[in-house]
Amino acid sequence: EAQLLESGGGLVQPGGSLRLSCRASGVSVSRSYINWVRQSRGKGPEWVSVIQRSGRTFYADSVNGRFTVSRDESQDTVYLQMNSLRVEDTAIYYCATASNGVADAFDVWGLGTVVTVSS
Amino acid sequence: DIVLTQSPLSLAVTPGEPASISCKSSQSLLHRNGYNYLAWYLQKPGQSPQLLIYLGSDRASGAPGRFSGSGSATDFTLKISRVEAEDAGIYFCMHALQTPYTFGQGTKLEIK
């Protein structure tokens, strides 16, 4: 059974940095599209980034240039490096993927990790 | 970016009655491969979203048979044939045609 587990969230001041991790089991990050999706309190989900099977990466405009997604295939882990954090980046961050290895929908989600940006 | 507009934003349904949610896209979600890249999710309080429908009308593994998806291009519908108490939560549509993927605003389903 495919599972994802996020970690690395916490409290950080505006302008600070944080690195989130998404550890995969039952699915290989090198053969999957691993997405990051965030959700602010009381709001709908917002797609943030994806790292494709090829290694290509894409970002939402709101984080482009500040966030970087990468992976360590030996650890089956995907990372989201978040720099120049803003108050509006405060959210639960989920990683999500399709267990069939295609990019049509997310049937596997982690439990999320909470990021709070505040002074 | 593709904008997804859901309606209604909330509805209250008696158990055993049907429910329907609409999702309209600002651009066609029909890929040249013939598939519509539209999915439906249910999010219950304190939980991660769970996939119900993908590619417009394919039911996800584990999704109850009372859930069905229909539509094509810019107009999609999620139907629940007979609502049960466990169906309460917020329903989101999401497209995966191209990045950035976007979500609808959500529809809150309340059980009477």
- Residue-level pLDDT at B36: 97
Give pLDDT tens digits for B57-66.
999 999 999 9
pLDDT (average), residues B2-10: 98
pLDDT (average), residues A75-96: 98
pLDDT (average), residues B92-111: 97
The candidate with the shortest Cα–Cα distance to B85, out of B64, B59, B61, is: B64
Residue B55 and residue B65 in contact, taking contact as beta carbons nearer than 8 Å: no
pLDDT (average), residues A64-76: 97
pLDDT (average), residues A45-50: 98
The Cα–Cα gap between B54 and B52 comes to: 7
Average pLDDT along chain A: 96
Flag whether pLDDT at A103 surpasses 80: no
Please tell me which residue of chain A has the smallest CA distance to B45: A42
Flag whether pLDDT at A99 surpasses 90: no
B64's tokens: 């109850």
Q: How far is B64 from chain A (nearest CA, A)?
A: 14
Please tell me which residue of chain B has the smallest CA distance to A63: B100
CA–CA distance from A31 to each of A35, A47, A64, B2, B11 (Å)? 13, 20, 24, 27, 40
Flag whether pLDDT at B94 surpasses 80: yes
pLDDT (average), residues A31-48: 96
Burial class (CB in 10 A: 0-12, 13-18, 19+), A54: exposed
Residue A9 and residue A117 in contact, taking contact as beta carbons nearer than 8 Å: no
- Residue-level pLDDT at A62: 97
Please tell me which residue of chain B has the smallest CA distance to A4: B48
Flag whether pLDDT at A55 surpasses 90: yes
How does residue A102 score in pLDDT terms, banded at 50, 70 and 90? confident
How does residue A100 score in pLDDT terms, banded at 50, 70 and 90? confident
- Residue-level pLDDT at A104: 86
Flag whether pLDDT at B48 surpasses 90: yes
- Residue-level pLDDT at A67: 98
Q: Is A104 helix (H, G, I), strand (E, B) or coil?
A: coil
Residues of chain B found within 8 Å of residue A112, distances taken between Cβ atoms = 48
**Given an 8 Å threshold on Cβ–Cβ distance, is B101 in contact with A47?**
yes
**Given an 8 Å threshold on Cβ–Cβ distance, is A107 in contact with B55?**
no
- For the CA atoms of A17, A23, A27, A31, the dihedral, rounded to the nearest 10 degrees, stands at 30
**Given an 8 Å threshold on Cβ–Cβ distance, is B103 in contact with A47?**
yes
Select the residue from A52, A56, A92, A107 to test the B interface by mutation, using most B Cβ atoms within 10 A: A107
- Residue-level pLDDT at A101: 78
Q: How far is A116 from chain B (nearest CA, A)?
A: 17
Flag whether pLDDT at B9 surpasses 80: yes
pLDDT (average), residues A8-36: 96
